[in-house]
Every structure is written in structure tokens, then in C-alpha cells.
Structure 1
């Protein structure tokens, strides 16, 4: 099952990030072949965040073995959450491990909010988010996070409230513990509770590998 949004010019991006641009560079009519000039940010579309995204000394994507992007995943149903509502620890399934020493075959929690229905619209920016304590709990369990939204933290918009956390505490809790974050997933309504995810990033290297688009695919 493909969990990936296509990279199109109307794709939702974090406020201030580069927009995706697709321009013909060569055409069949003029050159006898086709090449497209792509312009996009490293966090465009369905993508994975490296620790270096928020952590000055964090690992870049090329410092992870490719197997790090293969996950045993568990779906967390958060479809009852409304715009800009926090996902709290008590919203997690009760049978998830209670501490870091508890054995588990899950290494990725995928939060299903149904917010991918708003992809390419302004409403997409007002998604539910992980409360800081929820992100810390995931990090303590060594659980990476995926979600069908732009951001595990609240995305700044004019609809933000004073009660919301500021900055990127969910990112920092997860990435600071070397837990990966896969953002902008889609088609989560077609998944069973447990499945496998492959989310291999583009092979960026060095400082530029703070994140990269992925082709995220689920199998079960």
C-alpha cells in the first residue's frame, strides 16, 4: 500500500519552506527527450526527518543504515481529534509498553488523524499534534513516529492558541533520542492495526541530509 503523497506544485509545505516547482528543462519537441527541473526543500511531501533537523549535533540521514528506514508499525487511531487538538499519552492504546524495558515488536507508531484529507488546503496546517509528554513517552520507548499530518508539533498559523506549546518540543524529544519522524503520510484508513513500513529517503549526504522525501510503502 502506497502511503505517499505525490510531489506536485500544490503540495502542502511548512510555512516559509520552499514550494515545490516542476519546470520543463528538455522536451520531446525541442530536444528529443524529456527532463524536468525539480526545485523543492528537503522536507517536501511525504518525508523523513533526521535528528540534525532540530539537533545541532544530531545524526544526518546518511549516518543511518538503510535498515533504519524499515519499521514494524502500529496504527494509533486519533481520528476523533479536531483541529489543533493535542494527542495525549492517555490516547495511546493501553497495551503499548509502559516503560523502556518492556519488550515490543513495534518500532514505529503511526498516528492516524485523517488530516491527509485536507492535503493542499489551508486547513492542513491546523492539524492535531503530539503533546510534548506524548513525544517524550515515545522517545523513552525508542519508538519512531509517523503521522498523516504536516508536523508532530503545532504548525504556526493565525489559528494558534496561547495554550499550545511553542517551538518544536515533539521534534526535539524524538529526534534528540534518534527516533525518526515520518511526516505527511496518506491512505492510513486502508491499513490494519499492525503492518510493516518501508520509507527509504533520497540519498542526500552530509549537512543537506537533515531530511528527505521518501516513498513510503506499507505491507502486511
Structure 2
């Protein structure tokens, strides 16, 4: 269960949430985000907006029901597993599949350089080339607002293969986050990483903004919208440093 006493508030707060706007990149085929004025101060005395976007828009949490029959919906997730000690690993020099061996090596290298990585670290965050974005015209590799740019040569950013997902489960992580659109290959139809992680109660957070975050340990806090019986939901995600 959620215990407010476990949240350290003395360190620097880093917002790692991708904002939702008409500029927000989306996965091809997902609903395009729209924010419209519904009521205005001038005419109605108050401002109210009409929001329209997919459940996997911007920084979001995938619920097990996203790909698993009878899987939990996002409102049923244990919030305690979406907050806690986290380690950020840097994979910005790697394209394509991240294997279990690659994760093991980078994790051990980071652990040797950071004594704060202990068994209490329950969240794994993957910083990839997708972290490098422009604020008002996002430039996540090969994507644009509205979906895939067919004119550009496709190159799969870093993603988890089946061995990497299995490694995460074996290590006992409760949540894995990535700054790309998917923990799986963007061309994958079977989604092996999603299946392995979600079927083993490992939360998935996608589309984090880690461009200004250095590898190391933090406290991670991620709260998805409580949308009943939904397959996922946008979330506000924060990192809190130790200093």
C-alpha cells in the first residue's frame, strides 16, 4: 500500500513527464490529441477545455489489460509499485535490441560506480536516444506529431528483447520505464517484452522525458490517471534526487 512517509522530499524534483498538446508525438494509429476551449472567461465566466487523446498519449502507464486477457485495468494497479528507489541506465549509444546480457553489464557497471544501488532499488529506467527532443516540435527518432514519418528511413530505437524482459523479472524490479514509445520493437506484433513483464506484475511506463537526467539513483514517483476499466492512462512522473 502507498505510504507517504516513504517519499523523500528534500532532494531536487525533476519532472520527467512528456506534456500532452497538439505537438505530442503519438504511436502510429493512436488517436491524435486535441485540446479545445469549451467555455471561456469572457463569455462564460470560467475556462473549461475539452480534452481528447488516447490512453497511451505522452508519458503513460500500460495496464496488464493492454495486452493480457482478463488483465488488471489501470485503476486497479498498486500505486506502491509505481514509486520507490529507481536506477537510471544510459543506453543513448545503442540502437536496436537490448539483451539481458547488455542490461546486466550496464547495470553492474553503474552499480560499481554508485554504491546507492542496493536490493531496495525496485524501478529500472532506460534512457535511450529517444530522450533527445525539442520542446515545441518533438523529434523522437522517426516519429512526428500524428505518427510515423514515412519519408524518413526507419531505424528501431533501443528496445527490450525477450531475454532483457526475463532479466528484469529475475532481478525483481516492480516497474520498468523507457523514454521511447514502447519497451518492444516498434515493428513487433507479438510484443514479447510486454507479455513477459505484464504477466509477471512488472509495470511498464513509456514515453518518459529523460533527456536532462543523468544515469544514477533517484526516487521515482509515477501516478497514472484513475480511469476505470482502462488499458492504460497518461501519468505525471517525477524523479527526486538524493541531494
Q: Is TM more than 0.5 here?
A: yes
The partner residue of 2:37 within 9, 24, 37 is: 24
CA offsets 1:155-202 (integer angstroms, 9 cap, x no match): 13xxxxxxxx54211111101111001111113532450111100011
Q: Which consecutive unaligned segments of at least 5 residues does structure 1 have? A: 98-102, 157-164
TM-score norm. by structure 2 comes to 0.77
2:131 counterpart residue number: 116
How many residues get paired? 203
Query: What SS is found at the alignment partner of 1:151?
Result: coil
Q: Which moved more, 1:103-112 or 1:171-180?
A: 103-112
In 1, distance between residues paired with 2:226 and 2:69? 20
In 1, distance between residues paired with 2:176 and 2:16? 14
Check if 1:171 corresponds to 2:182.
no
Query: What SS is found at the alignment partner of 1:189?
Result: coil
2:212 counterpart residue number: 189
In 2, distance between residues paired with 1:192 and 1:81? 15
TM-score norm. by structure 1 comes to 0.84
Query: What SS is found at the alignment partner of 1:16?
Result: coil
CA offsets 1:37-62 (integer angstroms, 9 cap, x no match): 00011111001111111111211222
1:61 counterpart residue number: 74
Q: Which consecutive unaligned segments of at least 5 residues does structure 2 have? A: 1-13, 112-117, 149-155
Check if 1:130 corresponds to 2:160.
yes
1:159 counterpart residue number: none
- Contact 1:127–1:150 (8 Å) recurs in 2: no
CA offsets 1:126-180 (integer angstroms, 9 cap, x no match): 4221111101211232322101111011113xxxxxxxx5421111110111100
CA offsets 1:60-112 (integer angstroms, 9 cap, x no match): 22222332221211111101113xx1111222222799xxxxx8212111011
1:149 counterpart residue number: 180
Query: What SS is found at the alignment partner of 2:15?
Result: coil
Q: Rate the CA distance shift 1:172–1:182 in 2: closer, same or farther, 3 A.
A: same
RMSD: 2.1
